Structure formats: C-alpha cells, structure tokens
Amino acid sequence: MTRPILVTGGTGTLGRAVVAELLDRHRQPRVLSRRPRNSADPTSAQWVTGDLVSGEFVADAVADVDSIIHCATDYRHMDNDVRGTRRLIDTALLGGSPHLVYPSIVGVDRIPLKMYRFKVGIEELVQRGGLPWSVQRLTQFHDLVLTIVRNAGRFPLMPLPSGLQFQPIDTPDAARRLVDLAIAAPSGRAPDAGGPLVQTVEDLAQQWSAAAGKKRRIVGVPVPGKVMRAYRQGWNLTPDNEVGTVTFEEFLARVIRRGG
C-alpha cells in the first residue's frame, strides 16, 4: 500500500495540476492549503487546512506521507517561503523523513532578480535540510506568459521588451515531471525542464492577440539593466530539455475555449 503524497499549495496554479496528475495515477494526494476545501476542489484528495508560516497543522499535513511536492509559495513575501520551507522540513524530519520535491525556476542562480535570490536560498535549504530531496527547475508556465501578454495587451499599442524569449511549459506537463520524481528515488538536482518551443515574447503576444481576437500593434522596446541582459542571454531557457508537450498556442486554444 502506498501512502499519501502531500502537495503544499495544492490550490495554486501548479499545485492543482499536481493533484490532478496524482489522482490520474491513482495516487492519494493530500493538499495543504490555508483555506478549507470548497466545492471546486477535488473531493478525492485528502485536505489539511494549515499554514506553513504559522506552523498550524503542518504536523498533520506531513504525517505518514511518502513524499512532499512543495508547490506552496507567496510571491509577494518570499521571506515567508524561506520560513515556511524551513518549518516544513523541520516538521517532516520529526516524522518519517519523506522525500521532498521542490519546483524551482530555470536560471534562478543567473538572473539577478530579488525573488530568485530567495529561491536559491530555498533550494539550499532543501539540499541541506536533512530530508531526501529532488529539485526540479522549470521554465515559466504558460499561465505566467499569458498574464504578461494580456497585461501588455490592454491597449492597442502593445510594448514588450525586445530580445526576450520564453520556453513556456504547460502546468500538467510540469506536474507529470514532479510526480515522476516524487514516486522515484530522490534525484538531487534533476535536469532542467522546459516547454516544447523557445519563442520571442513578440511571437507569443502575436499568438495571444490572434487567439483572443484583439487587434494589437506589438512593439519591441529595448530595456536596459542587468536583469534584462540576463534574460536576453537566455538564462531562463533550457533548449536541450524540452520536456513539455503542449505549446503556448495549444494552451491558448484550451483557455479561450473555456472562456478564459
């Protein structure tokens, strides 16, 4: 008999896909979320309402699990991610020392974003924390690229940083990878994983405007600075590790069909 797999942040963009993937594979997900289950949440997942930062019910969440896929994050308060991850590890060490799988971001150690410095610190916590571990760096999700182009596309003129490329991945593809890791022996730092295509942000914006039926003039704008230089050098890409199967265009067709 296999034991449950804990999905922290199982209500989030990636976490929901991980929960769905586990259910598809007849594995028992246990969600840790700060909110109670609602009618849109899968009834077949176990549910713990708790908080990684306050520590509330974290011991219940980690009790008797085989592995943990740690998708919880608070982009606006990354110091909370550090505290929450430390709490998760310390609590799990008191239990059965499950395998901890952490999704990180391709290029996190090369792109000088403040948020990425926190992520590198969390990767180190995972690596040195004492639990068996796997770290999977992923490229940007289609959902994030959609947010970027949709925000830029609020007006007829659509300014976007020139030279910026993405290799976005569909969250179900990313989830498949994380579940593969979680049910196998710990891998340490796994090879990076990205979507099926590397494309310029202008091309991605063009695909969005066509799919959404918006007439937009896309304008590439040179953006100075260290961060954009790192992106222009392609540190957010992993062209040799195209593991995703769904392109941004296919993702858009799915989202727009659902009215998104």
Q: Is the dihedral of CA 59, 61, 64, 65 positive or negative?
A: negative
Alpha carbon 76 to its chain centroid, in Å, reads 15
Least distance between ligand NAP and beta carbon 70 (Å)? 7
**Whole-angstrom Cα distance, residue 200 to residue 20?**
30
Instruction: Provide CB contacts within 8 A for 245, sequence distance 6+.
Output: 170, 173, 196
- Residue 9 · residue 73 · CB < 8 Å: yes
Stretch that binds ligand NAP, among 37-45, 73-81, 159-167, 252-260 (CB under 6 A): 73-81
Q: Which stretch binds ligand NAP (CB under 6 A): 39-47, 138-146, 202-210, 244-252?
A: 138-146
| Overall residue count recorded for the chain in this entry | 260
Query: Whole-angstrom Cα distance, residue 7 to residue 22?
Result: 10
Q: Is 34 in the site for ligand NAP (CB under 6 A)?
A: yes
Q: Does 74 bind ligand NAP (CB under 6 A)?
A: yes
Does 56 bind ligand NAP (CB under 6 A)? Our answer is no
* Residue 241 in the binding site for ligand NAP (CB under 6 A): no
d(CA 8, CA 27): 16
Q: How far is the CB of 55 from ligand NAP (least distance, A)?
A: 10
What is the distance between the alpha carbons of residues 5 and 81, in angstroms, rounded to a whole number? Answer: 20
71 scored as a contact of ligand NAP (CB under 6 A): yes
The stretch near ligand NAP (CB under 6 A) out of 21-29, 33-41, 89-97, 227-235 is 33-41
CB 78 within 8 A of CB 115: yes
Residue number with CB closer to ligand NAP (7 or 158): 7
Among 47, 133, 141, 231, which residue interacts with ligand NAP (rule: CB under 6 A)? Answer: 141
Q: Contact between 51 and ligand NAP (CB under 6 A)?
A: yes
Neighbours of 151 (CB within 10 A): 9
Task: Name the DSSP letter for residue 194.
Answer: B
Give the count of residues interacting with ligand NAP (CB under 6 A).
Answer: 26
Among 6, 7, 15, 194, binds ligand NAP (CB under 6 A): 15
Question: What is residue 117's three-state secondary structure?
Answer: helix
**Is 35 or 154 the residue whose CB approaches ligand NAP more closely?**
35
Q: Which residue from 23, 53, 59, 197 is in contact with ligand NAP, where contact means CB under 6 A? A: 53
Q: Which residues contribute to the site for ligand NAP (CB under 6 A)? A: 8-9, 11-15, 32-35, 51-53, 71-74, 80, 84, 103, 105, 138, 140-141, 144
